[in-house]
Structure formats: C-alpha cells, structure tokens
Amino acid sequence: MKNHSGNIIKPEVDAIKIFSYTIMTIFAIMCLFPFYYIVVVSISDPQSVREGQLILWPKGFSLDAYKVTFQHARFYSSFQVSLIRTIIGTASGITLSSSLAYAVSRKYLRGRKFFTIFIVFTMLFNGGIIPTYLVVRYTGLIDTIWALILPNLMNTFNVVVLMNFFRSIPDEIEESAKIDGANDLIIFFRLMIPVAMPSIATITLFIAVYHWNALMDGILYINTPVKKPLQVYLNDIVVAGQTDDLFGDSSARWMPTLSLKTATIFASTLPILMVYPFLQRYFVKGIMVGSVKG
Amino acid sequence: MNINTVKNNQAVETVKNRPGYWRQLRKDIIKDRWLYVLLFPGVIWYIIYRYLPMLGLSIAFFDFNIVKGISGSKFVGFEYFRYIFFEHRNFWQLVENTLAINVIKLVFYFPIPIVFAIMLNEIMSVKYKRTLQTLIYLPHFVSWVVFGSIIITFLSPSEGIVNQIIEAFGGKSIFFMSEPKYFRWIVVASDIWKEAGWGTIIYLAAITGIDPQLYEAAKIDSANKLQLIRHITIPCISETIVVMLLLDIGRIMNVGFEQIYVLANPTVYSTGDVISTYVHRIGIGNGRFSLTTAIGLFQSVIGFSLLVTCNAISKKSFDKSLW
C-alpha cells in the first residue's frame, strides 16, 4: 500500500509533533499546578506562610490548618448538606433522566416528536433566574434541601446525550425481548440500562459533580447558615473572607488566612479528586458515542 | 401484554373497520403504556421547573407584588422595558460587559480547544496522551468557588504567588482583582485555564471519527503534516466547529453566574457586573422582581433570536445546522 512512498512518510523529525508535545505538556502542568500549590501551602508550616515566603514546595510540615478547619461546626453542616443533596440528587436525577430519555428515544412512541421538541426547546429558551426563583418559592422549597435537589434535577444536555445513546442501540435487542413477552419496563431496567452503562455512568458522574460543585442555588434559595451547602460555605470563608468565627478559637488566631483557606479548599475538593481518576476513563467512552450533535 | 396478541388484535380490527385516529391513538397508548409511565415523571418535572418559569416571565409586564401574587398585581405593559431601555442607569453597561466578555471569549477562547484537540491527536503514545487528558480535564471538575478562589489567591497583592514573583524581580505588586481594566481578561483567562482542556473532548470525538484512509491517500500524494491538518482534519471536524460556534453565539448574552459571582467585587462592577449577577443582586436582594425579570426576558429573547438567525444562515450557506 504505502511501500513505494514509504521513504517519504518515514518519521521525519516533525516540528508539529514537537510543538504539540511541548504545548500540551505545559498546559497539563498548568492544570495540575493549582492543586499542587493548594496542597503544598496547606501542609506547610504556618509560620513560613505567614512570613509571606514564596512557597513552591512544602516548607516545614504542619497539619494545624486542617485542625482548625475541621474544628469549625459549619464545615460539617455544609459538608453534610452537600453530601445529602449529591446522593439524593444524583440517584433521582439519573433515574428520571434515563427513563425519560429512553421513552423518547423509541421511534414508534406516539408523540415522540412533540416530546423531543418539548425537551430540547428548554436549551434554547428559559424562564431565567427570577421566575424560577418564584416557582421554587411558591412551591414552598425555600430554605429546604429540596430547593437544592428539585429545580435542577435534570439537565437537558444530559437527557439528549442519553437519548442519542439509547437510539444507537440496535432494535433487535428490544424486538427479541418483546417476542419473549417482556414489557417495556423489564426491557428498560434489565436490558437497556446494562447496555447503556458507559453512557449512564458518565452522566451519573456529571450529575454528582454538578451537585457537589453547585453554588448558585445555595445562594439563591437557602438563608439559614447551617442549611447552606459546602460551596456557599467555601465562598463565605475563602472568597468573602469571613474567617472571623474560624478565629474565634484562640489557638487559631495566629494562623495565616492563606493556610486556612488552602486547607478548607483542599478538604472540600478531596471527594472529587478521589473519585475522578476512577471515573475518568469511563467518560471518554461514554460521551463520545452519545454526543457530537448536541 | 404480549406483542403478538396486540398485533393480532390490530389485524382483526383493520379488517372489521378502519380504526379512527382516536381509536388508534388510544390503542397505541395502551400498547406502549409502560413507556408513558417512564416518560411521565420527567415530563411533569419539565412542566414545573422549566415551563412554569417561562409563564412566570409574564411578571415583566406587571407591577409584581410577591405577597399578592400575579392576580393582585397591576398590569403595566411595556413600562419596565421602556424604563430599562431609556432610563435605567446601568442597563446598557451590563449589556456591554456581558457582550465584551463573550466577544473576548469567542476570539481568544473558542479556537483553543480545537487547536488542543489537533495537538493531542499528534501525540502517539497512548499512555502519555491519556495522562495529558486526565490532567487537562481535571479543572473542569472543580467548582468555580475553588478555582476562582485559587485565582484570587494567586493574584492577591499581599500573599499571591504572582505578585511575589513580580516583587522578586523588583516590580511593584499589582491589585489585579480590584482593577476594572484587568477584570474581563482575568475572566476569560481563568475560563481558558479551567475549561479549554475539557472543551477538547468534543473535537477529539470528531477527529476519532475521521476515516484513516483519507490520511493514507493523502500521504501517498506526499502531503506533509500541515497539509493533512489543513485539508483533512479541519474540514472533517468543521461541522462540529460550526455547531459549537452556533451554540456559543446563542449564549452571547449569558455569562456564567458562578464565575463572575466568585471573581467580581464591587470595585470592578464597572467592567465586570453582568446581567445574571445584577439580576440576582437587585432582583432577589432588593426584591425588584418585575424589573429584573424584564431584563432577563430581554436577555433570553436576544439569545434565542440570535441562535435561530445564525442557525438559518449557517443552514443556508454551509448546509450545517443545529436541528
């Protein structure tokens, strides 16, 4: 095939390749650096952090910043709120999204076109912040954990990805099950979910990450401090700098804010960093089949 | 129940008398009843949390009072729109800030994931490529609070690493986060840092779909690397590029709330306050529901019309469209 021109395509030292390797490696290091820096500062001796030294590798070692972080009651309450909303929100979100996506993906379903437009239209046009807030308010969800779960239970992009994945499953699987007398519920739960697992696992990860990271709904819908999710707490401590009650404890008074901030950031990002490597290889496969044409 | 019985019944029915539309509909619904059971909760959710708010947009035309509800509020027509267009002090500033950030994004951010995807595709070692992907997707999975606070920490005048470096070289430390002229650039740069890696995934998917024979054929014609990229890779992913571009244009009136909320502070509102942060602050904070809903409706209508228009243009001139 390529023998007669083989000498031409011989791997010449190719500038584009060298360039690609260099740029992508630099960018990858840049993406890792913030996390590295946070860890390094948070475990460094607070004394050197306080002196304002440039810290690029750990200076001394101390877990005092974490001790102060974990002493704060609001850290626990908000961590708990985020954990609960993530578990309930992800479980119900993926169930609802995949069953809706599956039903709409069936070609013979009456009204399929209508339902598809009904779903996709919400990507193009929406009510916006205030009307959604009013719906949440009139349905009595303000200041309850349901305000963090229900209004964003589903995401249309995710539904569309799942829909495309279900559509790509060959019809024969369903047909033969129907001949064996299985109804649509059995087919969906026993056959389709296992087949669609790469896609469902990916979307589950997306939903879980969304719930863990969501800030806006906590700001909009929750007023009581102990009911606020982790990201709102983090925003109060790290961005708005409300570290006063952290310093309430006299042992923490001398602690530089940078140590405390980095410890709080790392402690709240740890759950994501822990699951990320395991799920990472799943989603490349999962999203590629489903998406492309959003 | 059984598909065969259903089919038989249908056949018998057709012979007897042609079933009317409603009859057929009823029969289909009964046949697929479990599918409608699966469909139902999702549809209800969409009605409550996506379509009810669209109806709620109507409060832009009322002098809405949250206690009395819409029926107890006075209808004022386009009064609020007249007010925001002609009298509101910062409305046009908000529009400008929102557009400016998005235009900078379109110019500087948009091409980067495409270039990165092509570069990643050049990396031959599967293991190394996967490692790079793992690292560049990572920032996408942390929240804007975390990433934004890292940016703020880096740029802090007293303890930030950037200013420590500037000072180490004898410079004077800069108050990055309270200087309006830097703000939009910080927003776009931090967005590139956080999301450009993740953005490659859709283009990588498109590149994976290219038929390798195209490259083989071009190599036989002794095309070089750059020619391969220009004449095969880019044309083959152009559909994806157009789709992504259309979606971005449709979003030109939206800037992510969380990013701005975390990064902005009152000293940079002149360049950095965008529609969503303003709507939140004034609408919910000060209870000006009708005013901010009018602003939100304006934003949605512009976004929707832009998307529809650009899609029509793209369909006509390149035969590529979203739907």
Min distance A246 CA to chain B CA atoms (Å): 18
Mutation test of the interface with chain A: which of B149, B194, B208, choosing the one with the most A Cβ atoms within 10 A? B149
pLDDT at B209: 85
Q: Tell which phi-psi region holds residue B138, choosing left (phi > 0), alpha (psi between -120 and 50) or beta.
A: alpha
Asked if B46 lies within 8 A of A154 by C-beta distance, the reply is yes
pLDDT at A5: 45
The torsion angles phi and psi of B62, rounded to 5 degrees, stand at: -120, 160
Give the Cβ contact number of residue A181 at 10 Å: 12
What residues of A are in contact with residue B205 (Cβ under 8 Å)? 287-288, 291-292
Name the 3-class secondary structure at B284.
helix
Split at pLDDT 50, 70, 90, the class of A291 is: very low
Long-range contacts of B59-62 (CB under 8 A, 24+ apart): B59/A130, B59/A131, B59/A134, B59/B289, B59/B290, B59/B293, B60/B290, B60/B293, B60/B294, B60/B296, B60/B297, B62/B290
Residue B315 CB partners (closer than 8 Å, separation 6+): B321
Mean pLDDT of B139-164: 88
Task: Label the pairing between strands B74-75 and B62-63.
Answer: antiparallel
- What ipTM score was computed for the predicted complex, to two decimals? 0.87
Split at pLDDT 50, 70, 90, the class of B139 is: very high
CA distance B265 to B23: 62
pLDDT at B8: 53
**B125 alpha carbon, distance to own chain's centre:** 33
CA distance A105 to A161: 11
What residues of A are in contact with residue B53 (Cβ under 8 Å)? 126-128, 131-132, 134-135
Split at pLDDT 50, 70, 90, the class of B281 is: very high
Q: Which two tokens stand for residue A56?
A: 């690029």
Task: List the domains of chain A with CATH numbers.
Answer: 6-63 (no CATH), 65-290 (1.10.3720.10)
Question: Is the Cβ–Cβ distance between A213 and B142 less than 8 Å?
Answer: yes
Min distance A250 CA to chain B CA atoms (Å): 23
Min distance A263 CA to chain B CA atoms (Å): 11
pLDDT at B224: 85
What residues of A are in contact with residue B39 (Cβ under 8 Å)? 99-100, 103-104, 109, 115
Min distance B138 CA to chain A CA atoms (Å): 7
Mean pLDDT of B245-256: 87
Asked if A219 lies within 8 A of B143 by C-beta distance, the reply is no
Task: Show which of residues 225-264 on chain B sit within 8 Å of chain A, judged by CB atoms.
Answer: 225-226, 229, 240, 243, 247, 250, 257-258, 261-262
Asked if B138 lies within 8 A of A35 by C-beta distance, the reply is yes
Mean pLDDT of A115-139: 92
Taking the Cβ of residue B141 and every Cβ of chain A, the question of whether any pair is shorter than 8 Å is answered with: yes
Mean pLDDT of A239-263: 70
Min distance A68 CA to chain B CA atoms (Å): 19
Comparing alpha-carbon positions, the chain B residue that sits nearest to A288 is B205
What residues of A are in contact with residue B286 (Cβ under 8 Å)? none
Asked if A134 lies within 8 A of B142 by C-beta distance, the reply is no
Mean pLDDT of B298-312: 90
Report how far apart, in Å, the C-alpha atoms of B10 and of each of A110, B23, B33, B36 are.
16, 11, 16, 20
More confident residue, B178 or B293: B293
Element (H, E) at B74: strand B74-75
What residues of A are in contact with residue B131 (Cβ under 8 Å)? 28
Of B42, B131, B297, the CB nearest to A100: B42
Task: List the domains of chain B with CATH numbers.
Answer: 3-66 (no CATH), 79-318 (1.10.3720.10)
CA distance B1 to B8: 12
Task: Show which of residues 172-231 on chain B sit within 8 Å of chain A, judged by CB atoms.
Answer: 193, 196-197, 201-202, 204-206, 208-209, 216, 219-220, 222, 225-226, 229
Split at pLDDT 50, 70, 90, the class of B74 is: confident
